[in-house]
Structure formats: structure tokens, C-alpha cells
Structure 1
Amino acid sequence: MTPPETPTDGTATNGTSSPAVSVCLVHKTDGALPVLKKRSDFLAASRARKQGTKAMMIQARKRRDDEAVDPSLVRVGFTCSKKVGNAVARNRAKRRMREVARAILPTFGQPGWDYVLIGRKNETDARDFKTLQGDLKWALRKLHTPRK
């Protein structure tokens, strides 16, 4: 079945578009953070700074100047091992971490850094959302304070 087209015989009103116009063509600019996708980015973050909270583990890495990524971007990755539970539990934990990162990282994350949020068993999906946000804020403060 083909979608209906805008009439070309002059019966369409001026400015009318096809009723089958997809809203998915619009680019997402709703505050979505650039997401880490390459395994090498996750491995590089795993060798950098780490800070654990009750709900999640946060790995943070300052990118090098010679990397081909915009230095003003804050990138984030999410992962949960099978220890967290079945696919439903892992996906729920990642969804919650995604929302927390979307709310917190634009203001508390530092440009030029990559962050990886790792879910914890029985904690990430069960923790209160405000407390989850507080955990991420606390961990970011700890990660970005200068070491003695």
C-alpha cells in the first residue's frame, strides 16, 4: 500500500503537505547527548578515572587533543552486565541511566570528557530517581576534583 500524495490537480490548499509526511525526518535536538558506540571508547574509559555510587559505577576520561571528536562535546555510554538481570532488567536500568544522564550531564559534565555509566544489580532500577540524580552529581564532583 502506498501513502496518499498531495493532490496536484489544484484542489490542495496552499501550503498543504502530504498527509503521509513522516515526523521522523526531523533531527533530534531535544537535548540528546552524543553516545559512545565504539568498543575502543568504552575500553579507553575503563582505563581512566572511576567513581562508584550505590546505584552505578561511573567511568570518566578526558579525551586527548588529537582525537577526531569535537572538544566541546560531552559524550556518554551506558552498559549493564548480565549480573544485573535478564534483558528486561538491563534495559530498564539503562533507560533510567539515560534519563539521569540527559538531566545531569549537560550542566555537571565537562566538555571534552567521555563518561560511561554502568548499572548495578538490584540498585539502578530500584533506586528513587532523585537519589539516582544525586548519585551522579556526587560522582561527577568527585571525578573532577583535583587529585592530591
Structure 2
Amino acid sequence: MTRRRDFLAANGGRRVAMPGFVLQVRPRDDGDAAMRVGFTVTKKIGNAVVRNRMKRRLRALARDLLPGKGIAGADHVLIGRQGGIERDYQALTAELLKALIRAASPESPADQRPGNGRGEPRTPHGRGKGRGPRGGAHRHAAESSREPARS
């Protein structure tokens, strides 16, 4: 997968979080039985060297397991997590097998809930109102502690 819209569409499918990565799976309606796979590693993980190393590990996992265990006719997106780069490859393999089994199983009640699983509606970037980097009650705390300028 290379197009942004495909990644955004996969974001609306099943999501299975594991310690080393997050797997997103979304069946396609186009009737094509081919599996597609995409990889994402954000800058939070590290610099370009670390991100590329993580993507290589995810590609190797997908190459080894998806042809036999993946869901036919679905898009699979592997999102690298912070702990994934240090994890043993065998542990990542076991986690991907577990994630694929969970993704293929019928939806659980937790997957059917709208929002972020805590009863709150899902907002962009997973934050609620006023919780951004400058939002909330602490927004003007630094300004209120300053003394007024004297002339």
C-alpha cells in the first residue's frame, strides 16, 4: 500500500495492539482476494536509522507470516511501536500470529463501541477538547505568575 487514502481507510478497520506494533486490518469490498500490506513508523520511535530498521523488521514479519496467516482480500497495516525495535524477532513473530488470530475472529463488544474505548468520542490525535499542548487549565499559568511591567 502506498496511498494515504488506503492507510486512512485501514484506520477504520479492526485494530489489535501488541507490545511491538499495532496491526490494523480492514476487509476490502472490491472483490479482489489479494492481501495488501502497509507499514508506518512515526518520528516518535526515533531518527531515520531507527525508523528504517523498524520498517525492515516489520517487512520481514509480513513476508514470513502474512501469505499463510493473513486475511484474504484485506488491507493489513503494521504500525511500529517504541518497544518493537528492542524486542526479539521470535517474540514479534508470536505477537503477529496472535494479532492475526484476533483480527480474524468475530468482533468482540469492545470493537463495536464507537470512540476510543473509554466511552468518549474519538477526536483527531486521540485527544479530547482542551488537552492539546497548550490547552487545558494550565494554559495561562506562566502568564498569571508574571508581575506587571512597571514604567
TM-score by length of 1: 0.71
Q: Distance in 1 between matches of 2:47 and 2:9?
A: 27
Which one of the candidate residues 78, 101, 106 is aligned to 1:146?
A: 106
SS of residue in 2 equivalent to 1:84: coil
Which one of the candidate residues 15, 22, 25 is aligned to 1:57?
A: 22
SS of residue in 1 equivalent to 2:84: coil
SS of residue in 2 equivalent to 1:127: coil
**If each structure's helix is expressed as a fraction of its own residues, which one has the higher value?**
2
2:64 corresponding residue in structure 1: 103
Q: Distance in 2 between matches of 1:43 and 1:110?
A: 18
Q: Percent identity?
A: 44
SS of residue in 2 equivalent to 1:78: strand
- In structure 1, the gaps of 5 or more residues are 1-35
Q: How many angstroms does 1:124 deviate by?
A: 1.4
Q: Does 1:93 align with 2:54?
A: yes
Residue type matched to 1:145 in 2? S
SS of residue in 2 equivalent to 1:37: coil
Residue type matched to 1:143 in 2? A
Instruction: Write out per-residue CA displacement over residues 48-100 of structure 1, whole angstroms, 9 at most, x where no aligned residue.
Output: 1100000000000000136xxxx121110000111000000100000000000
Question: Aligned pair count?
Answer: 108
Residue type matched to 1:56 in 2? F
TM-score by length of 2: 0.69
Q: Distance in 2 between matches of 1:125 and 1:102?
A: 18
SS of residue in 2 equivalent to 1:82: coil
2:95 corresponding residue in structure 1: 135
1:42 corresponding residue in structure 2: 7
- In structure 2, the gaps of 5 or more residues are 109-151
Q: Distance in 1 between matches of 2:10 and 2:33?
A: 18
4+ aligned runs moved over 6 Å, structure 1? none
Q: Distance in 1 between matches of 2:51 and 2:68?
A: 26
Q: How many angstroms does 1:107 deviate by?
A: 0.6
Structure 1 residues 12-27: aligned runs within 5 Å:
none
Q: Once superposed, what is the RMSD of the aligned Cα atoms? A: 1.0
Residue type matched to 1:52 in 2? A
